[in-house]
Amino acid sequence: MSTVNPKTVRPIFPFTAIVGQEEMKLALILNVIDPKIGGVMIMGDRGTGKSTTIRAIVDLLPEVPVVANDPFNSHPFDIDLMSDQVKEAIENKQELTTSHIKVPMVDLPLGATEDRLCGTIDIEKALTDGVKSFEPGLLAKANRGLLYVDEVNLLDDHLVDILLDSAASGWNTVEREGISIRHPARFVLVGSGNPEEGELRPQLLDRFGMHAEIRTVKDPELRVKIVEERSKFDQDPKLCIKENQANQELLRQQIITAQEKLPHVTIDYDLRVKISEVCSELDVDGLRGDIVTNRAAKAFTAYQKRDQVTIEDIKTIITLSLRHRLRKDPLESIDSGQKVLKTFEKIFADYI
């Protein structure tokens, strides 16, 4: 499978060639395996490869089947991933043409309006012709793909609310002058930002399934390796892509296998109780932390080609799932990630 987008003819840096930033890479992979984890917020320094990594994970994924010429990327067989128009066509026994597309990747610009995000209804056409005319927005284009918001902490809170509501419900509804249109909007929401430019409100941050922190690499040898990989790609993108083709295909197959295995992964009741004990001890509001930690642990287990969640699986993902849900205490010297791990070790002491 080519890693060059034919529309832009712009090569995309191979995901398997990205050095370091393991937290971010793991969070993205787990969200691709199980989109119900709820997306990922990536906070870190500028120039740490956030955008490059997000584009690379999308380019790595296999193509998905869609109903040809459907503006919402409707699935031809899965009723939960179909627009109402496609469902109606199937009920009327109309024959649908199927095609395959790359997993959609949509960038939300900071200056986007609500109409650009959600889509618009042509009221004049509706009133004069009695026809619902809808111009799809970015949420429609992102259905069954990834929606990426760079500098999400600078985005208008109202738009962030819409994004998070659509990501959670899987649907986007546009209402105007008594006319209502809805369409599927199932996507992995990926936000990134620099903490120096301000944090998201806690109630919005909590809505992201996972939170990855990335920092500028300090190890000189690792920095040299990162620069070498990037230079190699800039000088000859095709050669770099070819050299990483085997690793890319291996990871692609690993993700596909994990997606298929996920429904069969189980987690013992005792471990689920312990996860909830950790959330309770950390004073995490609501049950989102419990749910995401369980989902992420299962996704990681499937990624490891196993059927039963272990304590090590939970330990690997629990910081990603909970660090952003803790209440900030300015007098506390320990950071939220360390606090999550210490609490995990305390609660799971009998098992470790």
Closest CA to 289 of 322, 241, 256: 322
- Residues annotated as catalytic are 288
Backbone phi, then psi, for 99, in 5-degree steps? -140, 175
CA distances from 326 to 94, 285, 302 (A): 52, 8, 27
CA distances from 241 to 35, 63, 76, 232, 248 (A): 27, 18, 32, 10, 9
- C-alpha–C-alpha distance, residues 101 and 78, integer Å: 16
Find out whether 228 and 347 touch, Cβ atoms under 8 Å. Answer: no
- C-alpha–C-alpha distance, residues 250 and 305, integer Å: 13
**What DSSP letter does each residue of 117-153 carry, written as one string?**
HHEEE-HHHHHHH----EEE-HHHHHTTEEEEEETGG
- The DSSP output letter for 183 is E
* Per-position b or e across 210-236, b if 16+ CB within 10 A of its CB: bbbbbeebeeeeeeeebeebbeebeee
